[in-house]
Structure 1
């Protein structure tokens, strides 16, 4: 019986070179029957490697949920869950692609989910940098601490929309031209994500340089919020900052790889290199997320996660610090709130009065 396109599922034309006919027949193909060249990618994803990556993301999801619920880092947790679920679904798609590389839906599940997922991890890093700036010294940043999350999460949302629209266009395309159009939109989304990450890293580097200059001049400690004194000098806070730096670089490398992969088309050498994928996709994201998980902001900031998230809007005055088990300060005993700018001025006046 012929389908609506005139294709007999039981008698496929396996010698044709007509791309339209191949596309119409491909959904009826099975391994060992149709040429592997008919598949969207010319290799079978390694089942063992992809299962290992899938297991890693399941473990990381469990740990992230544990720390997120324990420390009530809800926005951070929500973004991590979204990213990890997309990674899990994407690797399930690759395992399905191993079983049947001719089913386009299997390919699209893998492609769209793994393309979009890391944007949520970048969002988590943006949330953390604003808090780092609040702790280290907001006056050395060119932007207000909370502005980083607003700007760069907004950029990520724009990139996500482009990637999602591109994925939708590719999944509903009836021909190669439509599929390529969808791919081009996804590339635009990835490129916009790369550009926003470059700008983010440049601002972060600028902040670091300005802090180092202030430290060398001996003026850094004068304006640093006293609320975060113990946290700022703790080893875990230093490790937290380095973990975010390395995670950002790994996600950036992965984004460059995906741009190159998609830009070359699904028939390009890089898109059909399983070795490249297994090096520049899975390990980059797994390592980045593992670092963010080990130095989870809930473990680092404890009760200071919320105050630090307020930026210069909330610093508590007149409190005696109570040291938590990770060395961060927890302030108790007063409900009086003072802006960081006012606290800086009071600290400055006190120092000059002593002088």
Structure 2
């Protein structure tokens, strides 16, 4: 990138302020369409010719993850979870395919803008799929140990994650709007993008803290011996553990990627970190590819059937279960009234026998949520 002090003042219009000079330089470089002596590759935002081989490799990797996700999603009917993972993989695929033309011409604006938008959006969709898992883990192990009602987890973390993305989108719009003639507007947009990424790291950290604390409480509860054989069996199930490790690995990979993004954007567009290709490849491309492959090849439909069963059943099934349960309870009550002496006779017994139907009813309601 050309520095202001390197420009011969005699070649510039007179009486320019420093801000006007910066805007003039930005407008000039925005008009570049290909690499030349007056539009060198070092003046591009990337500052280098992207490696063609690594971008083809990443494109193939995200394509494989996309196909695997779609296959498992259709097969096991985990539409919501698989849909978000597939959308994230598709955006990453589009982003790295768009980087391939940049290997010949880093001034290709359409390719550059496409890869920026796609690569920024994709991890948010992957995060949404991860947020969904905690709800189902809580429902399958012990909902009472969760400090938040399990069904509320997606309603808390998904909007927060989307709000972070919205802040980044606003920043991107400001930066794009000022790219031609207002360098200060670009700087304000950059600050908004950094704020959005920082918020995303905070949300991810909060989710990790809540999830980790819940699992710690479950582990303590299992040691008391109060857990039923079904919960103990699920906790010790190798498939369930593989699913948990895969989701945890994907979570850590995306968190590392977001932390890298903060450092990358902190110096503004075209800073030395942004122009270091291999830090981008490892901490952005490889990290997100690792997350996509884990989520694609360790699907809940195979490793966590309890989650898959709830997702396949959908809201209609849940509603139907509640209605059937209500009808059953109403019918039982009517029979009790009609039964007279028999009802009194059935209601007598030990305290534990009286409490059993209530416990079963509550357990059933929890399972339906």
Q: TM-score range by the shorter chain?
A: 0.7 to 0.9
Cα offset, 1:86, TM superposition: 1.6
Q: Secondary structure of 1:127's match?
A: helix
In structure 2, the partner of 1:251 is: 254
Q: Secondary structure of 1:44's match?
A: coil
In structure 1, the partner of 2:193 is: 186
Q: Distance in 1 between matches of 2:292 and 2:35?
A: 35
1:127-142 matches, cutoff 5 A: 127-142=132-147
Cα offset, 1:230, TM superposition: 5.6
Cα offset, 1:267, TM superposition: 3.2
Deviation per CA, 1:16-38: give whole Å up to 9, x if none: 89544443343334224322232
For residue 151 of structure 1, the aligned residue among 134, 140, 156 is 156
Conserved in 2, the CA contact under 8 Å of 1:187 and 1:259? yes
For residue 163 of structure 1, the aligned residue among 152, 163, 168 is 168
Name the structure where helix makes up a greater proportion of residues. Answer: 2
In structure 1, the partner of 2:222 is: 215
Q: Secondary structure of 1:139's match?
A: helix
Q: Secondary structure of 1:117's match?
A: helix
Tell me which of the two structures has the higher relative contact order, counting C-alpha pairs closer than 8 angstroms and 6 or more residues apart.
Answer: 2
Is residue 303 of structure 2 the alignment partner of residue 300 of structure 1?
A: yes
Conserved in 1, the CA contact under 8 Å of 2:176 and 2:186? yes
Give the direction of change, closer, same or farther, for the CA distance of 1:167–1:82 in structure 2 (3 Å limit). farther
Deviation per CA, 1:35-80: give whole Å up to 9, x if none: 2232112111111101100111111111111111111111112212
For residue 270 of structure 1, the aligned residue among 273, 280, 291 is 273
**Which consecutive residues of structure 1, in runs of 5 or more, have no partner in the other structure?**
1-14, 318-334, 350-355
Q: Distance in 1 between matches of 2:275 and 2:100?
A: 16
Conserved in 1, the CA contact under 8 Å of 2:68 and 2:297? no
Give the direction of change, closer, same or farther, for the CA distance of 1:343–1:124 in structure 2 (3 Å limit). farther
RMSD over aligned Cα atoms: 3.2
Is residue 290 of structure 2 the alignment partner of residue 287 of structure 1?
A: yes
Conserved in 2, the CA contact under 8 Å of 1:130 and 1:149? yes
Q: Distance in 2 between matches of 1:347 and 1:232?
A: 24
In structure 2, the partner of 1:6 is: none
**Which consecutive residues of structure 2, in runs of 5 or more, have no partner in the other structure?**
1-10, 13-17, 329-354, 364-369
In structure 1, the partner of 2:35 is: 31
Is residue 200 of structure 2 the alignment partner of residue 196 of structure 1?
A: no
Of 92-101 and 245-254, deviating more is 92-101
Of 33-42 and 295-304, deviating more is 295-304
For residue 359 of structure 2, the aligned residue among 330, 345, 350 is 345
Q: Distance in 1 between matches of 2:103 and 2:25?
A: 20
Deviation per CA, 1:115-146: give whole Å up to 9, x if none: 22101101001111111111121111111111
TM-score (structure 2 length as normaliser): 0.75
Which of structures 1 and 2 has the bigger CA Rg? 2
Is residue 87 of structure 2 the alignment partner of residue 76 of structure 1?
A: no
Conserved in 2, the CA contact under 8 Å of 1:40 and 1:104? no
Cα offset, 1:81, TM superposition: 2.5
- The aligned length equals 311
Deviation per CA, 1:156-194: give whole Å up to 9, x if none: 111121122222222222322222222222212111111
Give the direction of change, closer, same or farther, for the CA distance of 1:30–1:307 in structure 2 (3 Å limit). closer
In structure 2, the partner of 1:352 is: none
Cα offset, 1:344, TM superposition: 8.7
1:318-329 matches, cutoff 5 A: none
